[in-house]
Amino acid sequence: MLKRFLSYYKPYLKLFALDMTCALGNSASGILYPIITRYMLNDLIPNQKFNQILLFGSILLGAYILKMIMKYCVDYYGHMVGTRMQADMRREMFEKLEQLPFSYYDNNETGKIMSRITSDLQEISELAHHGPEMLVMTSFSLLFSLFYLSSINLTLALIIFSCSPLLFIITLVVRKKHMESSRKARRSIAQINGDVNSSVSGIRITKAFNNSEKEIEKFEKGNKDFVEAKKGQYFTMAIQHSATIFVTDIFNVVCLISGGIFLYKGLISFGDYSSFIVSIGFFTSPILQLVQWMEQFDDGVTGFERFCEILDLPVEEDKENAKDYERLNGEIRFENVCFAYNQEEEREVLDNISFNVPKGNTVALVGPSGGGKTTICHLLPKFYHPDSGTIRIRGIDIEDITMKSLRENIGIVQQDVFLFSGSFYENIAYGKKDATRSQIITAAKKANIYDYIMSLPDGFDTEIGERGIRLSGGQKQRLSIARVFLKNPSILILDEATSSLDNTTEALIQEALNSLKKGRTTIVVAHRLSTIRNADEILVVSNGKIVERGTHEELIRKRKGLYKKLYASQFTDDDQNIDKKIMMS
């Protein structure tokens, strides 16, 4: 893992080298003060060398000016190294998220994913910046202080150094508990982010059902878990910090008493004793920083582990030797397809499904909710892969077609329309990367939304708000249809595209959809059976099986058929009225 982490420094080696050089110089400049102090106390002051006192004072002032410049470089360029590494990791994680299969998002909440790409990476960035420079500075300071204090008086230095193992024993004992507490805190903040994302996204539903108190209660549970996790983290941190401070204070006591005895017995001069007392902080300070670094290291490692968890997930991959196809315009065939979202489930979502859609035809999927209709639509663009069976387009197994070219040939209009924050223009243009403004306008006209857009002060540049919050359901739907018109796919999937709309809006959208279907092979999932009466074939899907198939007229004539019951439940309970409708159609 260390090698993997260090690889992110590679693009910024020059900047990192500057940061480390300045960190080392910054640390080295600190050694001048105790050295000059000792020299002054032992020689310059007793011998009244006034000019040299001013000279060495000026040298120290110059060193501090240089130290200030190096400190600026450490703080600025060091942070920039960490920030750029964080940006690289965020980019890599985002690209990975774009490549993960649908199944990952089925099992992970958006808020929890956001926690990994924000707070976790922030901790990694802090470690990337402060970790190496602190390690360099503390290591240098420790080594020099060991040498310098030993040069003043070896015996006294050894007495002081004998206390230092206590610090590392305390750190090692507490570290394991601190890391576990840090992991718990991250999991809890991820849960909070997930709850907040869910609550904010559904704020209108919350208010409509007067469930604010319930949402607050749910949030508070996650918040309390966070407090408990942080409680454990801060408990271990408090033990570590307080014990560390106590041990370093003992250094001062031992130094004061031992040095006083040495001075009393004439084993050390007053100047050396004074310098030793001044320099003891030069020894204890890096130890305290090293303990702090280990705490930051634990937090950064925890974040990097969570970062690597996502990077190591398997991505969507094409079958070896899969080919690109520019235009997949042909028959769609499902052959004995079986599928289950969870392999541990006893019941398959799709059980031995077989049907075909001739080129240019429209096949409608109807049936009770949860029967498997939408799953069929998800399998065609390879959002999921069948457990067994084959799906073919133009006689080609879709596993032998690259996902990129397959999805470029499929246009999807869903009931739950997702729009991006931005303008009308940007959302329609999402259907085709290199679309011209003229093409976008034409697509808007075909989708019957052009007139509405032009009635707005800013026209196509009008912002639609987050997820199109400023638009009605029908306007969102027409905007998504415009996007598909622009894409111009050869295969079309309409998944409940006109449900939850009023009759007037439905008629307007149905007109646009009828235009969109022309010349395309289409699969329609419909709740409103009136919208699919003219389909070339209707498949009734229930409990993962195709239980009926035929045209509207053929299915309606089955006295005890499921389709007839569904149709009757929407229009009339009187079979005679149904028959009259058939005769009139």
DSSP three-state, residue 515: helix
Residue 349 CB burial class (10 angstroms; 0-12, 13-18, ≥19): buried
Measure the CA–CA gap between 512 and 495, rounded to whole angstroms. Answer: 15
pLDDT at residue 494, rounded to an integer:
86
Please check the confidence at residue 570 and state whether its pLDDT lies above 80. no
Angle at 311 between CA 307 and CA 313, to 5 degrees: 120
pLDDT at residue 200, rounded to an integer:
66
pLDDT at residue 430, rounded to an integer:
85
Q: Where is average pLDDT lowest: 46-55, 235-244, 544-553?
A: 235-244
| pLDDT tens column, 489-542 | 899 898 876 655 556 666 777 777 778 888 889 999 887 787 788 889 999 999
| pLDDT tens column, 156-201 | 888 877 777 776 677 677 666 766 776 777 677 777 776 776 676 6
Ranges of H-type helices in 265-346: 270-311
Measure the CA–CA gap between 293 and 186, rounded to whole angstroms. Answer: 19
Q: Select the more confidently predicted residue: 233 or 375.
A: 375
Report yes or no: 418 and 475 within 8 Å, Cβ to Cβ: no
The average pLDDT across 417-444 equals 87
pLDDT at residue 125, rounded to an integer:
85
Tokens of 98: 């774009």
**Mean pLDDT for all residues in the chain:** 82
Measure the CA–CA gap between 506 and 491, rounded to whole angstroms. Answer: 22
Measure the CA–CA gap between 466 and 363, rounded to whole angstroms. Answer: 34
Q: What is the CB neighbour count within 10 angstroms for residue 208? A: 9
pLDDT at residue 512, rounded to an integer:
78
pLDDT at residue 201, rounded to an integer:
62
DSSP three-state, residue 561: coil
Classify domain 325-409+536-585 by CATH number: 3.40.50.300
In the chain, CATH 3.40.50.300 covers: 325-409+536-585
Report yes or no: 161 and 146 within 8 Å, Cβ to Cβ: yes
pLDDT at residue 203, rounded to an integer:
66
The residues that bridge with 38 in the sheet, in sequence order, are none
Report yes or no: 72 and 19 within 8 Å, Cβ to Cβ: no
327 Ramachandran zone, left/alpha/beta (phi>0; psi -120 to 50): beta
Report yes or no: 354 and 337 within 8 Å, Cβ to Cβ: yes
Beta-carbon contacts of 168 under 8 Å, excluding residues fewer than 6 positions away, are: none
Please check the confidence at residue 309 and state whether its pLDDT lies above 80. yes
What's the DSSP call for residue 573? S
Report yes or no: 66 and 59 within 8 Å, Cβ to Cβ: no
Please check the confidence at residue 556 and state whether its pLDDT lies above 80. yes
Q: Select the more confidently predicted residue: 399 or 259.
A: 399
| pLDDT tens column, 70-81 | 888 888 888 888
pLDDT at residue 506, rounded to an integer:
67
pLDDT at residue 396, rounded to an integer:
93
Domain 2-311 class? mainly alpha
The average pLDDT across 192-220 equals 69
Please check the confidence at residue 572 and state whether its pLDDT lies above 60. no
- Residue 120's pLDDT band, with cuts at 50, 70 and 90, is confident
Please check the confidence at residue 103 and state whether its pLDDT lies above 50. yes
pTM value > 0.75: no
